[in-house]
Every structure is written in structure tokens, then in C-alpha cells.
Amino acid sequence: MTGEAAVRLARKAVDAKAAGRSVPREEIPPGMESPKGVFVTLSTYPEGDLRGCIGYPEPVMPMGEAIISSAVSAAGRDPRFSPVTEKETDHITVEVTLLTVPERIDVPKSELPSKIVIGRDGLILSCRGNRGLLLPQVPGEWGWDQEEYLAQLSVKAGLPPDAWRRPDAEIQWFRGTVFAEETPRGKVSEVMSRTL
């Protein structure tokens, strides 16, 4: 299974959703049967602005189904954006992040920033019924250091910036391999490989 196949499947799902169709299961390429955490990110082209991003941090369904579901949701159900129109699909690039299984980080909160590697580690914060997730590529795109990354993760969870320091805050990390279209429906490249 290649990253290109994952992106091509996500693209089919985005185009189908915008056109009011669905992607039949027969379109899922072989090799996508195992459960996998995935995220699909849509960006405007050539500006590169976020247009939708939804996924599954946990491996809760077969990868092919997770890609289609995430792509459909990113195109039509991201509450931050209006649904993608058919006309827009020519001006959007599709990116797929394939995730490792999240693991709890068991270190004292004072040591946590020093353990995080920007560009390698995606983070999930769970605290008092709130949950926030940021993909590994996000802090690098924004120029955040580890402390700012944790603060923004807390805000993403709907909590104050220092919520990650709370004794009842649980932080998990995961890694991702990112594949993306260079241009709409164009060449697919591996953007980031951090699965070591």
C-alpha cells in the first residue's frame, strides 16, 4: 500500500462528496484492510490555507474506510468551514496523514516539553471531559516551540493554555507519515516521514 494510493482514494471521496455522490467500497485498493488511524487535510491551492481537516486518531476501522470517511467529513462536515463545492475541488489539494497508535506519555509535567520533538510527535490532550489533537506537522508550520505547542494543544481542547500542566491532564503522542498532492489532482509526494 502506498501513500499515493491513500491520497488518490481520499481525492475520489472529496470529489464524490462535492458532487453529491459516494465512493463505493469496490474503489478501495487492496492492502487497506487493516485498521489504521488517519487524518485527511484539505488546503486551498495555491494559497495553502486550511479548508478542512478531520480524521480518526485511533485505528477504529479498516484504513480504506477510515480514509473515505475522513475525506467526506473534511469536505462536508468540518464545523469550521462550509462544505466544499464541486467548483472548488479544482483549487484544493488533498493530504493524508497515516498515524501510529497513540501512547500515553508517562513523565512528570515539568519534563514534558523536553521530551517532545517538533515535527515528529503529534499530541492528544484529554482533561476534564475535553479533548484536543494536533498533528505532527502543525507546530512546525506555525513555528511553535514545545511550550507553545502544548499551550495551543490545550486551547484546541477548549481549555486554558496551561491546562496541560494539570495533574489530571493526560497527554498521548503519536507519529505520522504525511502524503500530499503537490497540485490539485497532481503528483503525490511524501511530505513527512516520522514513523521511526
Where residue 68 sits, what CATH number does that domain have? 3.30.700.20
Q: Which residues are within 8 A (CB) of 141 and not within 5 positions of it... i.e. 6 or more apart?
A: none
Judge if 77 and 146 occupy the same domain: no
Judge if 46 and 81 occupy the same domain: yes
| Domain range enclosing 168 | 103-174
Question: What integer pLDDT is reported at residue 161 of this predicted model?
Answer: 98
CATH assignment of the domain containing 120:
3.30.1490.150
Judge if 16 and 59 occupy the same domain: yes
Judge if 41 and 120 occupy the same domain: no
Q: Which residues are within 8 A (CB) of 153 and not within 5 positions of it... i.e. 6 or more apart?
A: 123, 125, 132, 133, 134, 164, 171
Question: What integer pLDDT is reported at residue 2 of this predicted model?
Answer: 81
Tell me the HSE value of 176 on the side-chain side, using a 13 A CA sphere.
31
Judge if 26 and 119 occupy the same domain: no
pLDDT tens string for the chain (196 positions)? 589 999 999 999 999 999 999 988 888 999 999 999 999 999 999 999 999 999 999 999 999 999 999 999 999 999 999 999 999 999 999 999 999 999 999 999 999 999 999 989 999 999 999 999 999 989 998 999 999 999 999 999 999 999 999 999 999 999 999 999 999 999 999 986 433 2
Q: How far apart are CA 105 and CA 117, in angstroms?
A: 13
In which element (H, E) is residue 54 found? strand 50-56
Judge if 91 and 109 occupy the same domain: no
Judge if 40 and 7 occupy the same domain: yes
Q: Number of folded domains in the chain? A: 2
Judge if 96 and 115 occupy the same domain: no
Judge if 64 and 127 occupy the same domain: no
Judge if 15 and 90 occupy the same domain: yes
